[in-house]
Amino acid sequence: MLKVGIIGVGTVGTSVANILIDNKNIITARAGVEIVPTIGVVSNLDKKRDVSIKLTTNPDEVLNDESIDIVVELMGGIEKPYEIVKKALENGKAVVTANKALLAYHRYELQELASDTPFEFEAAVAGGIPIINALRDGLSANHIQSIQGIMNGTCNFMLTKMINEGASYDDILKEAQDLGYAEADPTFDVGGFDTAHKLLILGSIAYGLDIKPEDILIEGIQNIKQTDIEFAKEFEYNIKLLGIAKKVENQIELRVHPVLIPQEKMIAKVDGVMNGVSVVGDKVGETMFYGAGAGGDATASAVIANIIDIARKGKGSPMLGFEKQVGIRPTLMPKDEIKTKYYLRLEVADKSGTLAKIAKVFGDNDISIENMMQKAKKDEKANLLLTTHTCIEKDILKAIKELENSGVVLKKPAMIRIED
Amino acid sequence: MLKVGIIGVGTVGTSVANILIDNKNIITARAGVEIVPTIGVVSNLDKKRDVSIKLTTNPDEVLNDESIDIVVELMGGIEKPYEIVKKALENGKAVVTANKALLAYHRYELQELASDTPFEFEAAVAGGIPIINALRDGLSANHIQSIQGIMNGTCNFMLTKMINEGASYDDILKEAQDLGYAEADPTFDVGGFDTAHKLLILGSIAYGLDIKPEDILIEGIQNIKQTDIEFAKEFEYNIKLLGIAKKVENQIELRVHPVLIPQEKMIAKVDGVMNGVSVVGDKVGETMFYGAGAGGDATASAVIANIIDIARKGKGSPMLGFEKQVGIRPTLMPKDEIKTKYYLRLEVADKSGTLAKIAKVFGDNDISIENMMQKAKKDEKANLLLTTHTCIEKDILKAIKELENSGVVLKKPAMIRIED
């Protein structure tokens, strides 16, 4: 018998305790041993919870109890769970966590601490989708060429609604908040930070990069307008918030931002609150993994898959950075050296000479235009929408600055990167 | 060091040998040991092959060589590979096979023989997609409620082309043959048999059912007409050939046939030669796994994932039938007790009284109609296209027989099941 202590008994913790009981028969068969949820740590004992395990407010009742084999950390936050996970590992307990923020900052220290002890985190990325399992085992023969993930259900729900129903960002955000998909302060989701945490975990597995969220390009979906969506539709793109990890020679791009992506791409077809992660391996080609990225039972499904794995196999191989082990030491590509195509929305004065000035800025910066569309607005203004051929991020940023100061562009230009 | 012998050095075998060499650095890191392709068995030594390993025509040079640790069986066929795999296991060698036909008939005997020896077959289902890995490990906390798989690239290529380009079955088949996607005799693919072999493997993992292809419902795509596709489009369906395993109380439906499936379902969006497998777990909800179902490198990616797993973990848990182990012994649902919705295409005489006669047949058999569309043809004939509400397979089969004998239906009715 293996005893499990759950630190943080909210939605996911409740599901973990209950599924271990509900599906005990198959879980025992698959694990080869009975797995018993024994104790839960909560901050408030008075709150009603739908679990039958003993509850306490003192984490040490789990961490210092020699009969507890596996600690499941689901409390959220960064520094407090870090101390708890550290102590659990030091006390020789296996740890399973779904805490992506913790991992975004401390994954390498914790992996190192866990030298003899299982330390697993399938549920931290894309909820119920077994994407870490796929990267680590299913695709283990491959060098990973790229990862593109829709890993935030709130953003994907909002973008899908904006595209399908033509509503504005503000209206859809309110709807998402009413439905409980978005927080009162939605910045962590809509600003791309949640996606970034998950991307860093996948990037570490594929490439062994010890990078913090502050080091990478993160942009959210707050500036997407219906004008952009109309343009996207016209040119058969969808708009998604992607976390992207891509190997370019010996450098790795890690970035989170909205993209225009061709509608026929499989990842572009992932709609609503669902998550999807596309992985391209050098041998297998493109694979895509789809499922629920959040929700108590779906996330608990991944937590328990880790527990079963630990019961069956004990300590797995180190997860973060096979490439590092074999002497391939890729580095993070500086943000402004990314090469891709760009979409720009320019609000311009609708008068002669405007286009010539704009064209000169692009020409001066070595940027060539692929598609263009002008839509007249009221008051002698127009929206000039255009896409570029592949160019370098620093060139487009310089061009945007010059456009802003050109006298013919009336507002800060909006930019969305394109993934073809 | 682990030595690998490859029996059958065609497209996939060549890829296995070459990837083990090309990606040796990461494979060694992941496996924890060097893995060396040592010898290949072929039927014709004169044929030029792009491999650097020693070749022989005698399988015993692999099976009786004590230095060979892992046998990879890629020869195709059923009885001959059965003897070879059996001998390999008896000689204590780990076996990895991509041979779905072998597994469709002998998976349980071989698993039993392999009591102490690894016996793995990720590549036998959906090529490079790590779907067995997902079912076995990633979704291990779940009772599997259903599996729906697009597992034959030839059929999916043909159906996608028929839908997108409006061409006829015969023209597209010829194109598929010219492109090398379909064999000169395409029956094994277009008749659904290849899909059935794969479905039986997945059904065994999820439900522990020891069923042979002859026992299940298998229908191919040969009778799909443009009329059916037009109807599907009108009612926002796609047409796919699916392998379906579904738990209904304590019975399992196992069936392969074309389906009308709503366009917004994720599996309905898998186009061209690609494969996709949707798995619904009782806790995780729907997940979907997408990728290349065939091709040397993609299939070899799955073979090598198994080899790495064996190197790292040795013998895994038995794969076929967790539910069986825990006393849940579901049985195969008889073919004619399946309940679903149906689409029918009836060529009818375009005269008064026809519809009344047809309606009476449906009424007599407890079948109610959901959608209907009549399209006039030349010569006082018409196509009557309709879908039913959910009914029982035996009732629809009886109604079809009665329609055939009604005097107003001019040809054998065409029927496609609907998955909603």
Distance in Å, alpha carbon of A20 to nearest chain B alpha carbon: 8
| pLDDT (average), residues A24-46 | 95
Contact across the interface for B301 and A323, Cβ inside 8 Å: no
| pLDDT (average), residues A245-255 | 95
* Interface A:B, Cβ pairs < 8 A: 197
Minimum Cα–Cα distance from A138: chain B residue: B130
Going B100 to B106 to B111 to B115, the CA torsion angle's sign is negative
Residue A376: what pLDDT?
A: 84
Contact across the interface for A141 and B322, Cβ inside 8 Å: no
Can A134-291+327-332 and A335-418 be said to share one CATH topology?
A: no
What's the pLDDT band for B318 if we cut at 50, 70, 90? low
Minimum Cα–Cα distance from A130: chain B residue: B138
Minimum Cα–Cα distance from B287: chain A residue: A291
Mean pLDDT of chain A: 94
Percentages (nearest 5) of helix, strand, coil residues in chain B: 40, 25, 35
Mean pLDDT of chain B: 94
The residue of A26, A131, A264 whose CB has the most chain B CBs within 10 angstroms, and thus the best one to mutate to test that interface, is A26
C-alpha to C-alpha distance for A384 and A408, rounded to whole angstroms: 11
Per annotation, catalytic residue among A3, A198, A247, A265: A198
Which of the listed CATH numbers 1.20.1250.20, 3.30.360.10, 3.40.47.10, 3.60.9.10 matches domain A134-291+327-332?
3.30.360.10
Query: Residue B383: CA atoms inside 13 Å, Cβ hemisphere, count?
Result: 16
C-alpha to C-alpha distance for B284 and B290, rounded to whole angstroms: 17
Say whether pLDDT at B298 is over 90: yes
Residues of B annotated catalytic, as ranges: 198
Residue B320: what pLDDT?
A: 73
* CATH superfamily of the A335-418 domain: ACT domain (3.30.70.260)
pLDDT one-digit tens code per residue, A147-179: 999 999 999 999 999 999 999 999 999 999 999
The residue of B33, B142, B275, B309 whose CB has the most chain A CBs within 10 angstroms, and thus the best one to mutate to test that interface, is B142
Parse chain A into domains and list their residue ranges: 2-129+297-319, 134-291+327-332, 335-418
Residue A329: what pLDDT?
A: 79
DSSP label at B405? T
- A120 vs B contacts (CB less than 8 Å): none
Say whether pLDDT at B325 is over 70: no
Say whether pLDDT at A60 is over 70: yes
- Is A66 labeled as ligand-binding? no
- B27 vs A contacts (CB less than 8 Å): 140-141
- A141 vs B contacts (CB less than 8 Å): 19, 23, 26-27, 300-301, 304-305, 308
Residue B326: what pLDDT?
A: 67
Say whether pLDDT at B61 is over 70: yes
| pLDDT (average), residues B311-335 | 76
What's the pLDDT band for A326 if we cut at 50, 70, 90? low
| pLDDT (average), residues B312-337 | 77
Residue A318: what pLDDT?
A: 62
Selection from B370, B139, B373 nearest residue A130 by Cα? B139
Residue B308: what pLDDT?
A: 95
Q: Are B39 and B45 in contact (CB under 8 A)?
A: no
Q: Is B63 helix (H, G, I), strand (E, B) or coil?
A: helix
Residue A320: what pLDDT?
A: 73
For residue A394, what are the contacts with CB-CB under 8 A and spacing of at least 6?
A: A336, A337
C-alpha to C-alpha distance for B290 and A286, rounded to whole angstroms: 8
Q: Tokens for A341? A: 């195509």
Distance in Å, alpha carbon of A32 to nearest chain B alpha carbon: 8
Task: Name the β-bridge partners of A255.
Answer: A217, A244
pLDDT one-digit tens code per residue, A196-232: 999 999 999 999 899 999 999 999 999 999 999 999 9
Task: Please state which architecture CATH assigns to domain B336-418.
Answer: 2-Layer Sandwich (3.30)
ipTM for this model: 0.94
Kindly provide the b/e burial profile for residues A338-349, where b requires at least 16 CB atoms within 10 angstroms of the residue's own CB.
bebbbbbbbbbb
Residue B157: what pLDDT?
A: 97
Selection from B136, B109, B111, B116 nearest residue B314 by Cα? B116
The residue of A283, A308, A320 whose CB has the most chain B CBs within 10 angstroms, and thus the best one to mutate to test that interface, is A283
Say whether pLDDT at A325 is over 70: no
Residue A27: what pLDDT?
A: 94
CATH class for the region spanning B134-291 = alpha beta
What's the pLDDT band for B15 if we cut at 50, 70, 90? very high
Contact across the interface for B138 and A142, Cβ inside 8 Å: no
What's the pLDDT band for A255 if we cut at 50, 70, 90? very high
User: How many C-beta neighbours within 10 Å does residue B351 have?
Assistant: 11
Strands B251-262 and B414-418: parallel
Amino acid at B363: G
Amino acid at A297: D
C-alpha to C-alpha distance for A204 and A109, rounded to whole angstroms: 13
User: How many C-beta neighbours within 10 Å does residue B185 have?
Assistant: 10
- Is A187 labeled as ligand-binding? no
- Is A12 labeled as ligand-binding? yes
Percent of chain A with pLDDT over 70: 97
User: How many C-beta neighbours within 10 Å does residue B273 have?
Assistant: 19
Contact across the interface for B287 and A291, Cβ inside 8 Å: yes
In sequence order, what DSSP letters do the residues of B193-233 get, joined into one string? Answer: HHHHHHHHHHHHHHH-----GGGSEE--STT--HHHHHHHH
- B287 vs A contacts (CB less than 8 Å): 128-130, 289-292
Q: Can you say whether residue B295 is alpha, beta or left, with left for phi > 0 and alpha for psi between -120 and 50 degrees?
A: left
Percent of chain B with pLDDT over 70: 97
C-alpha to C-alpha distance for B230 and B238, rounded to whole angstroms: 10
Contact across the interface for B30 and A304, Cβ inside 8 Å: no
Contact across the interface for A284 and B128, Cβ inside 8 Å: yes
Decide if domain A2-129+297-319 falls under CATH 3.40.50.720.
yes
- B263 vs A contacts (CB less than 8 Å): none
C-alpha to C-alpha distance for A145 and A207, rounded to whole angstroms: 10
One-letter-per-residue 3-state SS of A260-277: EEECCCHHHHCCCCEEEE
Say whether pLDDT at B227 is over 80: yes
For residue B318, what are the contacts with CB-CB under 8 A and spacing of at least 6?
A: B111, B325
Residue A323: what pLDDT?
A: 59
Say whether pLDDT at A378 is over 90: no
Q: Tokens for A22? A: 């509900």
pLDDT one-digit tens code per residue, B159-179: 999 999 999 999 999 999 999
Distance in Å, alpha carbon of B18 to nearest chain A alpha carbon: 11
For residue A20, what are the contacts with CB-CB under 8 A and spacing of at least 6?
A: A4, A27, A35, A36, A37, A304, A307
C-alpha to C-alpha distance for B268 and B184, rounded to whole angstroms: 28
- B207 vs A contacts (CB less than 8 Å): none
Residue B380: what pLDDT?
A: 85
C-alpha to C-alpha distance for B60 and B5, rounded to whole angstroms: 11
- Is A13 labeled as ligand-binding? yes
pLDDT one-digit tens code per residue, A98-151: 999 999 999 999 999 998 899 999 999 999 999 999 999 999 999 999 999 999
C-alpha to C-alpha distance for A28 and A308, rounded to whole angstroms: 8
Residue A127: what pLDDT?
A: 95
Which of the listed CATH numbers 1.10.1740.10, 3.40.50.300, 3.40.50.720, 1.20.200.10 matches domain B2-129+297-325?
3.40.50.720
Q: Is A159 helix (H, G, I), strand (E, B) or coil?
A: helix
Q: Are A279 and A63 in contact (CB under 8 A)?
A: no
Output B352 or B80, whichever has higher pLDDT.
Answer: B80
Contact across the interface for B25 and A305, Cβ inside 8 Å: no
